[in-house]
Amino acid sequence: MDELANFAAEVGAELKARGQTIAVAESSAGGLISAALLETPGASAYFIAGAVVYTAKARALLLDLPREAVAGMRSASEPYALLLARTARERFGTTWGLSETGAAGPTGNSYGDAPGHTCVAVSGPMEMAFTVETASDDRAANMQAFAAAALRLLQAAMAE
């Protein structure tokens, strides 16, 4: 996690320097995005909230997203990731919302996604989303890759 934490420290320092805040909604990264952002002392200047939204029940309870809001959306898709990022930003009143949703492995998820598939999104002054395919069924490695991809996306959005 050292490499991930170092990268998150850079992103966190930029958020802090800008006086911006973030909320995270992650799934198959299992809390690694939030943990990486929180590892740096002083993270409370920019980190407002993080949720591991692993199930529909968690989505409803933590983000107050009813089933109707996601009707017709695949859970590991860019539109769904954008919805999670927007909802996290709006719900917690932050500058940025960051999300990740996919299948870490070693098997796929019940929605038909192969292991190593995730979508990450950021919502704030600008919005971006992309799909990550690691072509690996190594759960721990995928979780790390998913967290790093989300942080890279946030960094790219902040550079725009």
pLDDT tens, residue by residue, 1-17: 588 999 999 999 999 99
User: What pLDDT, on a 0 to 100 scale, did the predictor assign at position 42?
Assistant: 95
pLDDT of residue 155 exceeding 70, the answer is yes
Give the integer Cα–Cα distance in Å for 27 and 23.
14
**Tokens 């790219």 sit at which residue?**
156
Domains along the chain with CATH numbers: 2-159 (3.90.950.20)
- Summarize pLDDT for 40-59 with one digit per residue, the tens: 999 999 999 999 999 989 99
Distances from the Cα of 116 to the Cα of 25, 55, 91, 127, 150, angstroms: 18, 18, 29, 23, 14
